[in-house]
Chain A
Amino acid sequence: MPNQPILEHLWIIPLLPLLGATINGLLGDKWPNKIVNSVALSATGLSFLSALEAAREFVTYVAPTGQIFRKEFFDWIFTGVSAGNFRVGFDLQMDQLTVVMVLVVTGVGFLIHIYSTGYMAHEGGYYRFFSYLNLFMFFMLILVLAANYVLLFVGWEGVGLASYLLIGFYFLKKSASDAGKKAFIVNRIGDFGFMLGMFLLFRTFHTLDFSQLFAAVEKSGWSKEPMWAFGTFTIASLLLFMGAAGKSAQLPLYVWLPDAMEGPTPVSALIHAATMVTAGVYVVARSHILFQHSETALVVVAVVGCATAFFAATIGLVQTDIKRVLAYSTVSQLGYMFLACGVGAFSAGIFHLMTHAFFKALLFLAAGSVIHAMGGEQDMHRMGGLRKSIKYTFATMFIATLAIAGIPPLAGFFSKDSILLNAYNIPGGRPLYIIGLLTALLTAFYMFRLVFLTFWGKPRYDEHHVHVHESPWSMLGPLVVLAVLSVIGGWFAAPALWGGKDYFTEFLAPVFATGEVAGASAAIDEAAAHSLELRLAVVAVLTALLGIAVAYWLYIRQPKKPAELAKSLQPVYKALFNKYWVDELYAATVVRPLVWVSDHVLWKIVDVEAIDGTVNGIAHGATAVGDRVRHTQSGNTRSYAAWVVVGAVVVIVILFWPSLGPMIGHLFGTTVTK
Chain B
Amino acid sequence: MVPTQYYLILSAILFGLGVVAFVFRRNIITIFMSIELMLNAVNLSFVAFSQSMPANHPHKLDGQLFVLFVIVVAAAEAAVGLGIIILTARNRQSLNVERVDLLKL
Instruction: Enumerate chain A interface residues (CB-CB to B < 8 A).
Output: 634-638, 641-642, 645
Contacts and interface: CB of A to CB of B under 8 A. Distances in A.
Contact of A637 (B19, B24, B97): B97
B46 interface: no
A636 B31 CA distance: 13
A493 to B, nearest CB: 91
A634 B98 CA distance: 10
Contacts of A636: 98, 101
B19 A645 contact: yes
B68 interface: no
A641 B22 contact: yes
A635 B24 CA distance: 16
10 contacts: A634-B101, A637-B31, A637-B101, A638-B23, A638-B31, A641-B22, A641-B23, A642-B23, A645-B19, A645-B23
Given A635-B102, A635-B103, 16 more contacts: A635-B101, A636-B101, A637-B97, A637-B100, A637-B101, A638-B22, A638-B23, A638-B24, A638-B26, A638-B97, A638-B98, A641-B22, A641-B23, A642-B23, A645-B19, A645-B23
B41 to A, nearest CB: 14
Nearest to B24: A638
User: Which of B26, B31, B101: most chain A Cβ within 10 A?
Assistant: B101
8 closest A-B pairs (Cβ-Cβ)? A635-B101, A636-B101, A642-B23, A641-B23, A641-B22, A637-B97, A638-B23, A635-B102
A635 B102 CA distance: 6
Nearest to A645: B19
Contacts, number: 22
B93 to A, nearest CB: 18
Nearest to B102: A635
A145 B39 CA distance: 83
Interface string B62-105: 00000000000000000000000000000000000110111100
A638 B20 CA distance: 10
A615 to B, nearest CB: 35
A191 B26 CA distance: 78
A141 B23 CA distance: 81
Nearest to B103: A635
A181 to B, nearest CB: 58
A641 B24 CA distance: 10
Contacts of B97: 637-638
Nearest to B22: A641
A537 B36 CA distance: 117
